[in-house]
């Protein structure tokens, strides 16, 4: 069993498991942090970004002023942002049989895997994962296609040149794996390969293994996966949460008794408690609105935003936020808000029960009804005529490099009354803000990551007790910025197996058993004999047939009649010769009764010698030896009749099968 690690990112995993002749890809996350090295894509003409100087090396030898621009003391690539793909060279992607998706954030690289790689397999995901994943992909495509940039920058990626660039561009890794965003067609084609599954549904893969999605409690439709054969069980735990937010709670019990547990997607901010951060978010928002400023919340169009809106819904009355409108701007804002309300079966019990009242499960429906929350596909159109300040704007993309958020950063960045509140933990907020400096608006970092923290995961692993744990390398040591925090790492016995990008791990566990079926007619011919109370054994002579990972024992075919003609072209496989099996002996020879028997048969002089494994009996008069050991009995005698007599005496004490 092998694990190919195509991504080293702990929360955007992409691993391939080879197990019992199947090749299973576990998630295909897309690392978009590479976009931070690019200039933002403004929606309207930007004074700030249109007149930036190009970058020329100090000695003037390298001039990349078309590709690189200097902005706020840093160098950015001036082209359409590119994303870091999972490793493509480690294994032939066309050999992948299935892809299991655990949540919509972990499928954003799907078109890169399934399109133009020869992939012919199937993708398994739950319905909310597919639908919301589609929305996020469509949004990403829309962000890119709305402001097309013909130019593609590649010169800077040259190793010799990159080496001379200023940081952090100089230190960017795997830059040749960076690719531009896919298009709508690729999205549609990739998603057409998705087959929907429900929680606890068992899906048989080629008769070899069974895969089952389990609720992971992190987002709508998010799942962990169980991959098991009859005798082996591998659990794949991706983004999971034990907090009570909107999704169905995590199914922990089904993870028990795993031989291997692949653990990814823990919280990215282990020191920030989501509840505390939610409180910070609300108080900073209220403080800004009360002082007459605007609040910008760069966020994804699905996920934590539902919880943020719910929290604000509860808080707004007591905080007296009644008059400030909330705007949600995204090409998929409407679909996201509506989808969240229709996936009732995937929600937590509390929200599910609302549907029967009937009430919308999320309170944002009421915010929309009362005109408190308005949503628009973009800043163009209706929004520009209805826009009122002070207000709260939720919009993407959280990297601040593309999407409507770029416009608001430029619009509000100059006033200290306004605040930008970062809630998504995927990007370093300081890097995200870098091209907008100097900035007067207040910046607040309240990362809300509801995924498991180290304390919770340690407790979980204690309960489910996997034999081996495999996890990304960063989880096996404290974060570099807090090297003293030994509580912020996985400390397990035995130690977890760490992986990094491009690693190939041989999982430390040997398959020992295989299930084999007996055909009824063969079973009928068996003669079981009881060796211990309740345990019977029988010898079997049969032909083992293995096909499609199924093994069947069939009766040995009778010898075929003589071939009618000698002109056959193919040699028919000769059925094996049926030999009557020799009887098998079992049991042990008890010393005292055996000596008594010898005595009865006239063998009087027996000297017993105790050895490490049993006894040696010297028959002194007969000059013979009987060696009684745990796993064998030897009779040494020159006289054949004596040997035969002694053999028969020994056999009296043993069982024959």
Partner 1 sequence: MDGDCGALLPRVLKVLADPTFDIPDDTCLEKLLDWLQDQARLEDAQSLVQEHPCIPHFISAVCTSESPDAAILAFAVKFTGILAANEGAFLRLDETGVIRMVFGCEEGIMKEMWEDPSVRSAWLHGLGGLVQHERGLRFFCESGLNRVALECQHDKSLFVTSGANNLLAHILNFACLPQCEESVQGDVTCRSAWDRLTVDIVKHISDTLSSDAQFQRRQALKLLALTLPGCRRPLLDRLWAAVLGPLELQIKMEPNSLVLPVMETLEAASRTDLFGQSDARIEDLIEAMLTSGDPNKVIQSASAIIHLEQCSESLKRKALDFILQPLLLISSSSTDTPSPVNGDSVKVHRAVLEGQLTQKSTCVPLLSLSLTSVSKLTSMEFQFMEIPEQLVIGAVMELLWMCLGESKTSTHLIGCSRLQRCCLDALSNLSTCQGGSAIRKNVLEALYHCLRNPDSEPTVLQKSLQAVLKWICVGSYSSELTEFLSQDLFPVLKRRVCDVQWEVRDSTLEFITQLSAHFTDNSVYRELLDCSGILPLLLASAEDGESYVRASAIAALGQAVTTLGPQGVQDPQSGLQDDVVTRLMTILAEDSEGFSRRAVVKVFTSWLKYQDSPPGLDLHGVLSLGSDDLDWEVKMYTLELAEALINKSLGLSFPNEPSPGPERPDVTEAQKKLEENRVLPVLLKNLFDYDRPVAHKACQLLLRLREDLGLTAGSCDSVEATAILGGGQSAEEMVKTWLKKRANSKSTSASESLQKTPDRTAGACVAASDWPTKLSFWELLNCLDLELRAQTLSLSSDHVVTSPRSLMEDILSAAQQSEDNMVDCY
From the CB of 158, what's the least distance to partner 1, in Å?
Answer: 44
Asked if residue 95 binds partner 1 (CB under 8 A), the reply is no
Identify which of residues 132 and 277 has a Cβ nearer to partner 1 in the complex.
277
Phi, psi of 310 (to 5 degrees): -65, -40
For residue 486, state whether it binds partner 1 (rule: CB under 8 A). Answer: yes
Residues 6+ apart with CB under 8 A from 165: 55, 68, 75, 156
For residues 15 and 1, the answer to whether their CB atoms sit within 8 Å is no
Taking CB under 8 A as the rule, does residue 367 contact partner 1? no
Site for partner 1 contains 366 (CB under 8 A):
no
- Per-residue x/- mask for partner 1, residues 171 to 200, rule CB under 8 A? ------------------------------
Q: Which of 184, 195, 271, 350 binds partner 1 (CB under 8 A)?
A: 271
Least Å from the CB of residue 475 to partner 1: 17
Of 13, 35, 22, nearest to 180 (Cα)? 35
Binder to partner 1 among 51, 58, 163, 484 (CB under 8 A)?
484
The string over 499-526, giving b where at least 16 C-beta atoms fall within 10 Å of a residue's C-beta and e elsewhere, is bebebebebeeeeeeeeeebeeebeeee
User: Nearest distance from residue 454's CB to partner 1, in Å?
Assistant: 11
Binding partner 1 by CB under 8 A: which of 261, 347, 406, 446? 446
624, 608 contact by CB (below 8 A): no
Asked if 147 is part of the footprint of partner 1 (rule: CB under 8 A), the reply reads no
Name which position in 282, 603, 617, 624 contacts partner 1 (CB under 8 A). 282
Does residue 500 belong to the site contacting partner 1 (CB under 8 A)?
no
Residues 203-232 that bind partner 1 (CB under 8 A): none
Query: How far is residue 371 CA from its own chain's centroid?
Result: 40
* Binding flag, residue 526, partner 1 (CB under 8 A): no
Residue 363 or residue 377: which is nearer to partner 1 going by CB?
363
Is the CB of 168 or the CB of 279 nearer to partner 1? 279
Instruction: Give one DSSP letter per residue of 194-236, joined into a string.
Output: EEE--TT--EEETTTEEEEEEE-SSSTT-EEEEEE-SS-EEEE
Using an 8 Å Cβ cutoff, are 102 and 14 in contact?
no
Count residues binding partner 1 (CB under 8 A): 29
Measured distance CA(457)–CA(270) in Å, rounded? 11
The answer to the question of residue 279 lying near partner 1 (CB under 8 A) is: yes
Contact between 557 and partner 1 per CB under 8 A: no
Q: Does 287 bind partner 1 (CB under 8 A)?
A: yes
Does 284 engage in binding with partner 1 (CB under 8 A)? yes
Q: Are 80 and 180 in contact (CB under 8 A)?
A: yes
Adjacency order of strands within the sheet including 542-547: 516-518, 550-555, 542-547
| CA pair distance 487, 479, nearest whole angstrom | 10
Residues 288-327, mask of contacts with partner 1 (x by CB under 8 A): --xxx------------------x---x-xxxx-------
Q: How far is the CB of 320 from partner 1 (least distance, A)?
A: 5
Q: Is 275 in the site for partner 1 (CB under 8 A)?
A: yes
The stretch among 284-292, 297-305, 601-609, 623-631 that binds partner 1 (CB under 8 A) is 284-292
User: What dihedral angle (degrees, nearest 10) is formed by the CA atoms of 41, 43, 45, 46?
Assistant: -50
CA distance 452 to 538: 51
Binding site for partner 1 (CB under 8 A): 271-273, 275-280, 282-287, 290-292, 311, 315, 317-320, 446, 484-487
């Amino acid at each position: 069993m092998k694990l190919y690690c195509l991504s080293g990112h702990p929360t955007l995993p992409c691993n391939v498991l080879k197990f019992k002749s199947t090749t299973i890809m576990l998630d295909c996350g897309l690392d978009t942090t590479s976009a931070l090295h690019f200039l933002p894509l403004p929606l309207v003409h930007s004074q700030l970004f249109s007149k930036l100087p190009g970058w020329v090396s100090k000695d003037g030898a390298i001039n990349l002023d078309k590709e690189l621009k200097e902005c706020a003391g840093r160098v950015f690539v001036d082209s359409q942002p590119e994303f870091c793909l999972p490793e493509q060279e480690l294994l032939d992607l066309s050999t992948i049989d299935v892809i299991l998706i655990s949540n919509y954030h972990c499928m954003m690289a799907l078109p890169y895997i399934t399109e133009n790689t020869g992939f012919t397999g199937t993708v398994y995901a739950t319905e909310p994962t597919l639908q919301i994943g589609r929305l996020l992909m469509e949004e990403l495509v829309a962000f890119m296609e709305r402001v097309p940039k013909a130019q593609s920058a590649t010169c800077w990626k040259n190793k010799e040149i990159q080496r001379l660039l200023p940081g952090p561009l100089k230190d960017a890794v795997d830059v040749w794996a960076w690719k531009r965003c896919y298009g709508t067609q690729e999205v549609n084609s990739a998603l057409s390969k998705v087959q929907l599954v429900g929680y606890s549904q068992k899906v048989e893969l080629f008769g070899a293994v069974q895969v089952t999605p389990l609720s992971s409690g992190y987002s709508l439709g998010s799942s962990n996966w169980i991959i098991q054969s009859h005798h082996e069980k591998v659990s794949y735990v991706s983004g999971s949460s034990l907090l009570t937010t909107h999704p169905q709670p995590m199914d922990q019990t089904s993870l028990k008794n795993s031989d291997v547990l692949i653990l990814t997607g823990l919280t990215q901010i282990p020191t920030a408690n989501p509840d505390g951060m939610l409180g910070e978010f609300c108080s900073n928002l209220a403080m800004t609105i009360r002082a007459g400023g605007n609040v910008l919340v760069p966020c994804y169009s699905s996920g934590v935003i539902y919880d943020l809106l719910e929290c604000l819904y509860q808080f707004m009355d007591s905080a007296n936020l009644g008059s400030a409108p909330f705007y949600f701007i995204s090409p998929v804002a409407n679909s996201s808000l509506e989808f969240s309300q229709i996936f009732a079966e995937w929600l937590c019990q509390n929200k599910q029960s609302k549907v029967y009242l009937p009430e919308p499960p999320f309170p944002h429906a009421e915010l929309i009804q009362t005109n408190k929350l308005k949503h628009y596909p973009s800043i163009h159109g209706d929004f520009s005529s209805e826009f009122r300040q002070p207000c709260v704007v939720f919009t993407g993309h959280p990297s601040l490099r593309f999407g409507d958020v770029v416009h608001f950063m430029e619009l509000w960045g100059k006033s200290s009354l306004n605040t930008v509140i970062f809630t998504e933990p995927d990007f370093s907020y300081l890097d995200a803000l870098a091209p907008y400096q100097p900035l007067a608006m207040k910046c607040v970092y309240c990362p809300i990551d509801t995924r498991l923290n180290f304390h919770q995961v340690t407790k979980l692993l204690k309960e489910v007790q996997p034999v081996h744990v495999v996890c990304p390398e960063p989880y096996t040591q404290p974060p570099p910025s807090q090297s003293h925090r030994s509580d912020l790492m996985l400390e397990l016995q035995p130690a977890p197996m760490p992986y990094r990008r491009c690693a190939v791990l041989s999982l430390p566990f040997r398959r020992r058993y295989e299930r084999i079926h007996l055909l009824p007619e063969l079973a009928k011919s068996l003669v079981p004999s009881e060796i211990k109370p309740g345990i019977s054994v029988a010898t079997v002579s049969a032909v083992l047939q293995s096909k499609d990972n199924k093994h069947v024992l069939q009766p040995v075919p009778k010898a075929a009649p003589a071939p009618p003609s000698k002109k056959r072209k193919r040699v028919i496989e000769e059925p094996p010769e049926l030999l009557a099996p020799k009887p098998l002996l079992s049991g042990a020879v008890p010393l005292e009764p055996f000596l008594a028997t010898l005595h009865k048969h006239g063998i009087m002089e027996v000297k017993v010698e105790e050895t490490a494994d049993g006894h040696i009996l010297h028959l002194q008069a007969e000059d013979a030896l009987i060696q009684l050991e745990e796993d064998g009995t030897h009779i040494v005698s020159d006289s054949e009749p004596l040997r035969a007599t002694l053999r028969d005496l020994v056999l009296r004490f043993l069982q024959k099968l």
